[in-house]
Amino acid sequence: MDSAEQRAHPPKVLSVETGRARTARDLDWLQRNIPCEAACPARTDIPGYLEAIAAGEFDEAYRINLRDNVFPSVLGRVCARPCEPPCRHGWPGLGEPVAICWSKRSAADFARREQPVVLPPWYPPSGRRVAVVGGGPAGLAAARDLRLLGHSVVVFERDREPGGLLRTGIPAFRLPREIVEAEIEQVVAHGVEVRCGVAVGRDVALDELLDRFDGVIVATGADRPVIPALPGSGARGVEHGLSFLREANCEGRTAVGRAVVVIGGGFTALDCARMAIRFGAASVTIAYRRGPEDMVVAPGEREEADEEGVRFIFHAAPMSLTADREGRVVALRMIRTRPGEPDERGRRRPVTVAGEEFELTTDHVVLATGQTPDLTWLPEPRPERLLVCGDAAAGSSNLIEAIADGRRAAAELDARLTGARRVGESGEVAEGRGVTRTRADDAIGRHAMPRLALNARGRNDEVETGYSNGAAREEARRCYLCHYKYEIDMSRCIYCDQCVEVKPREACIVKVAGVEQDAEGRITRVIPRAWRLVPPIPPHAYFIQQTECIRCDLCRQVCPVHCISVHKVSWTIGPTSGAPTPT
């Protein structure tokens, strides 16, 4: 076979036909071809659970989420949704992204869960004990995985109940408390012991934990408020958003000023403003130094706040606060801003505009200006068997990132304790089936989330009410099922062109001269076929471009020699198969 003929027979895109695919070549294929999952910090098998929902298999969809992100019902309500912007359905000309987050909620809403769902252990008991300091999302995610890895786990939580910001920071109108309690109960049901009201450093020393346990994971969150240096910020009626939400969510607070101004543009700012509305404030204003496109909130949340009466002032930064003779804040001086040069993350820095000052009348200012971890109590250098995770390690982030980092910390500590890397990332490749997706599914519009009427929204009433069973299944059908890999075996192809004739998209099946690969087998380029009008006609191959395929299965059905295969590739983070890999 000459080189031209070799190029006309592209190699298999994965390293295995079936089984576990874990080489650099395989992980590169997953990154390129399943964009939603590539964007999920926890590598949730998104197309897997959407496929299950579309088939009405809600129990299976819930278990997939439970395996990958620990808190499916919670995340189906308050996830930051990094998976949705990359969704193929949102690419130019293809419509809106699939409602991945709300579909996750549907899996939880319609799954049958009379008892806590407990996953089977990955490994037998190890005899090792681990202490987790902090019972928030990152700590509980780490604890759950450590139990699956066979270790005994005790969580030390300083508050009266575990949950961290799930209880103290997120209002019940976004996240009902029974949802939080049920999914924490599932973590405990895996055999995790939780000791509440125990603060490390106050009730038990860190050195004592290091003596009594084989390893310690610190997941204490980011609970030190960031207070801007504003003249007058010590006035009465000025407080940080974290303390405001903690008092409102956990301590029965109901009082608020009449004219409330919230400084900030993230989740905390929106939650504080909407809570103030529910407390009866006459006016609530969010002032943010950037534009609406820079707000770090879930899609649709700003619109919900707007519906409820929250006013927004963008491109405005605080300068100072004025208090009356009794020391109570009465005014907030602001200055207009404009976008400046990009910062290290690519966001344009706000720059103040000289002479563009104005004043807001207010009797209550909430500073939703961020928070940072306090790790001054940890020893330096840190012992090898002490790890920090979640917001305590990375600073204030979001829920899915905290959960993913908790799971990462559990895997890393396990490797340090056992001397083997027993958790890995891979694609599980199985024989596929004919997918029933049709071209008509492309035209299904994104389903809106049903919400309570404005006049029915009390302090704790959940605003988003969830999809119906039918709407959930139809929304999930919109998914392009990117985890199905269609491939043509050119050694069996008879060049009949029937697959090309039935293809629904111009570029889903293309004629190529071959592909180029790097030293590790990653496909770096698809080589276009060179067209000639006179013989000899160069050889070509048919190549299925996964990012153009809509999984209609027509090509496979029409092929007379059955040279088109379909495999399901499930991208997972879990126990490695066979003997553990030495670290």
- Mean pLDDT within 219-230: 94
Integer Cα distance of 401 and 379 in angstroms: 25
Q: Which residue has the tokens 């290091």?
A: 210
Structure tokens at 446: 């994104």
At 581, the pLDDT band (50, 70, 90 cuts) reads very low
Please name which of 178, 77, 128 lies closest in space to residue 451, comparing C-alpha atoms. Answer: 77
pLDDT band at 284 (very low <50, low <70, confident <90, very high): very high
Question: Phi/psi at 452 (nearest 5 deg)?
Answer: -65, 145
What pLDDT score was predicted for residue 433?
75
Residue indicated by tokens 């160069």: 538
Q: What percent of the chain has pLDDT over 90?
A: 86
Please say whether the dihedral angle defined by the alpha carbons of residues 547, 548, 553 and 557, taken in this order, is positive or negative.
negative
Of 472, 482, 474, 462, the closest CA to residue 545 belongs to 482
Domain parsing of the chain, residue ranges: 3-17+482-576, 34-113+441-476, 129-223+373-421, 225-369
Q: Which residue shows structure tokens 């974290």? A: 242
pTM for the predicted model, two decimal places? 0.94
Q: Grade residue 2 by pLDDT with cuts at 50, 70 and 90.
A: very low
Residue by residue, DSSP assigns 495-557 as ---HHHHH-SSTTTEEEEEEEEE-TT--EEEEEEPPP-SSSSPPP-EEEE-TTT-----HHHH
pLDDT of residue 344: 83
Helix (H, G, I), strand (E, B) or coil at 558: helix
What are the pLDDT digits (tens) for 101-127? 999 999 999 999 889 999 999 999 999
227-241, 305-319, 336-350, 565-579: the lowest-pLDDT one: 565-579
DSSP 443: G
Q: What is the pLDDT of residues 182-197, one digit of tens each?
A: 999 999 999 999 999 9
pLDDT tens, residue by residue, 21-56: 999 999 999 999 999 999 999 999 999 999 999 999
34-113+441-476: CATH topology is Fumarate Reductase Iron-sulfur Protein; Chain B, domain 2 (1.10.1060)
- CATH assignment of 225-369? 3.50.50.60
Give the model's pLDDT for residue 534: 56
How do residues 500-548 score in pLDDT, each as one tens digit? 999 999 999 999 988 888 988 898 888 887 665 555 556 789 999 999 9
Hey, what CATH class is 3-17+482-576 in? alpha beta
Give me the pLDDT at residue 396, please. 83
Q: Mean pLDDT for the chain?
A: 93
Tell me the pLDDT tens digit for each residue of 197-220.
Answer: 999 999 999 999 999 999 999 999
DSSP annotation of 426: E
Q: How far apart are CA 127 and CA 152, in angstroms?
A: 7
The pLDDT value recorded for residue 6 is: 41
- Residue 34 zone, left/alpha/beta (φ > 0; ψ -120 to 50; rest): beta
Phi and psi based region of residue 45 (left: phi greater than 0; alpha: psi -120 to 50; beta: remaining): beta
pLDDT at 583 over 70: no
pLDDT at 579: 41
Average pLDDT over residues 475-495: 95
What is the three-class DSSP state of 153?
Answer: strand
Residue 417 DSSP SS3: helix
pLDDT at residue 516 in the model: 87
| Whole-number percent of the chain with pLDDT over 70 | 96
**Shared fold status for 34-113+441-476 and 225-369:** no
Please give the radius of gyration of the chain, using alpha carbons only, rounded to the nearest integer.
27
Report, as an integer, the average pLDDT of 351-368: 97
Q: What is the pLDDT of residue 580?
A: 42
Q: H or E segment at 101?
A: helix 100-110
- 313 in Cβ contact with 287 (< 8 Å): yes
Distances (CA, A) of 223 to 135, 246, 484: 13, 11, 43
CB 392 within 8 A of CB 134: yes
CATH 3.50.50.60 fits 129-223+373-421, yes or no: yes
Per-residue model confidence as pLDDT tens digits over 407-464:
999 999 999 999 999 999 999 999 987 677 888 999 999 999 999 999 999 999 999 9
